[in-house]
């Protein structure tokens, strides 16, 4: 049952551009045809099927905002959000690969890289190279800038020492945006971003985490042992890495909201189909009013999350303030996804507790939404501060 294709309709946004609708439909078709049959195998093996990566690049899904002059699609941020939502309906593990590539790595390069860096890295990101975003460390989770990874100047270069944890796309990435401190005494003002190539001597990818959910997505440790990074690989200005990280994560949170939105929609799609097939007391369980009310409540919560996520993405594209809407969208969508996925298992009964049906996996995948790219408590803090200004 894990490979059942999604066909249940969902509310459509009426103001999608032709390009946005084209990408949305292409991503949906690709997810159903190519990803769905591989979900169980990838989840059990805890790795992405390598045949999917070239297809994601070929479709333009790995370089959505990369300008056409660099081989990208040249679409907007909102298109990235639509793609992440559609992929998440089928497999959030693939969606987070695409999400990090577009809403974190490419956004950071577009915003902070100089012309030479953009010409060097954007064509790779659009054609064949996965990127990763390396901020977290053992002692820096919600306190994102309590970094111990150290960058020391050495002539025209920098020497990186330390390690990173919980880095998404660690196994697949060809280069990494790494945040390190050049002056621990300067606090956040010492944080600097570096572009680290996988081939740099002294750099290695460490342990891959064995996770509860999104298991096919690689989450790894990164090790830096006297890694020499050219001065030309500093992203932005020395000492301004905190600003690059904060602004990029604000955008990335909309991507996580889209991931959780798509996950919840996928769980509901499977459940709507199931309750019309499963019979108890001589009739489909979907005919019982109690079940219908639960479906209605889930559909309403999902649509509320969709409007919040879409609104935050549109505000970002319009150059309007979006930090608080992004925090609200991420907070609500991630907590909503956990509620919906849990209830969908309930409606599947004993079957929902088995790996035979896809809601079990989606339930496990949902848990990470309230943790990465800012916990729910951190989102609440952002929202509260905005209220009290």
- Indicate the length of the chain as a whole number: 389
**DSSP class of residue 129?**
-
Residues sharing a CB contact under 8 Å with residue 125, sequence separation 6 or more, in sequence order? 62, 63, 66, 72, 101, 105, 106, 109, 131
Partners of residue 171 on adjacent β-strands: none
Residue 87 near residue 27, CB atoms below 8 Å: yes
CA 98 to chain centre: 7
> CA–CA separation, 261 vs 304, rounded Å?
10
The torsion of the CA quartet 264, 165, 236, 187, rounded to 10 degrees, works out to 110
> CA–CA separation, 388 vs 350, rounded Å?
47
H/E element, 27 = helix 18-30
The yes-or-no answer on residue 197 being catalytic is no
For residue 226, the tally of other CB atoms under 10 A from its CB is 12
Q: Which of 20, 137, 301, 373 is catalytic?
A: 373
CA 345 to chain centre: 24
Residue tagged 């559609």 (tokens): 86
Ordered DSSP codes for 241-269: HHHHHHHHHHHHHHHHHHHHHHHHHHHHH
For residue 207, the tally of other CB atoms under 10 A from its CB is 11
> CA–CA separation, 337 vs 298, rounded Å?
9
> What is Dmax (Cα atoms) for the chain?
79
The catalytic residue positions are 373
């Amino acid at each position: 049952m894990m490979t059942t294709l999604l066909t249940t309709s969902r509310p459509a946004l009426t103001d999608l551009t032709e390009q946005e609708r084209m990408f949305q439909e292409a991503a949906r078709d690709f997810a159903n045809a190519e990803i769905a049959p591989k979900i169980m195998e990838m989840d059990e093996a805890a790795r992405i099927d390598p045949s999917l990566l070239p297809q994601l690049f070929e479709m333009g899904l790995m370089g959505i905002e990369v300008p056409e002059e660099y081989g990208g699609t040249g679409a907007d941020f909102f298109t990235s959000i639509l793609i992440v939502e559609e992929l998440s309906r089928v497999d959030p593990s693939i969606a987070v690969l695409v999400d990090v590539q577009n809403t974190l790595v490419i956004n950071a390069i577009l915003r902070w890289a100089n012309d030479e860096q953009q010409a060097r890295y954007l064509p790779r990101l659009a054609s064949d190279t996965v990127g990763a975003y390396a901020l977290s460390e053992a002692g820096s989770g919600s306190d994102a800038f309590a970094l111990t990874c150290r960058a020391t100047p050495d002539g025209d270069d920098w020497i990186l020492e330390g390690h990173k944890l919980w880095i998404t796309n660690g196994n697949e990435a060809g280069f990494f945006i790494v945040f390190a401190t050049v002056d621990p005494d300067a606090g956040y003002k010492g944080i600097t971003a570096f572009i680290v190539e996988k081939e740099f001597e002294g750099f290695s990818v460490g342990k891959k985490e064995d996770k509860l959910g999104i298991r096919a997505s690689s989450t790894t440790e990164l090790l830096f042992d006297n890694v020499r990074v050219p001065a030309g690989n500093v992203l932005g200005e020395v000492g301004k890495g905190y600003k690059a990280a904060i602004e990029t994560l604000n955008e990335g949170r909309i991507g996580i909201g889209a991931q959780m939105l798509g996950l919840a929609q996928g769980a509901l799609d499977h459940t709507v189909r199931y309750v019309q097939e499963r019979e108890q007391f001589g009739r489909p369980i979907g005919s019982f009013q109690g079940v219908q009310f639960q479906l209605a409540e889930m559909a309403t919560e999902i649509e509320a999350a969709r409007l919040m996520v879409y609104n935050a993405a549109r505000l970002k594209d319009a150059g309007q303030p979006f930090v608080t809407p992004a925090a609200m969208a991420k907070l609500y969508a991630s907590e909503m996804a956990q509620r919906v996925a849990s209830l969908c298992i309930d409606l599947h009964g004993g079957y929902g507790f088995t790996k035979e049906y896809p809601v079990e996996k989606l339930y496990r995948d949902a848990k990470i939404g309230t943790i990465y790219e800012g916990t729910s408590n951190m989102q609440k803090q952002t929202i509260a501060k905005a209220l009290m200004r």
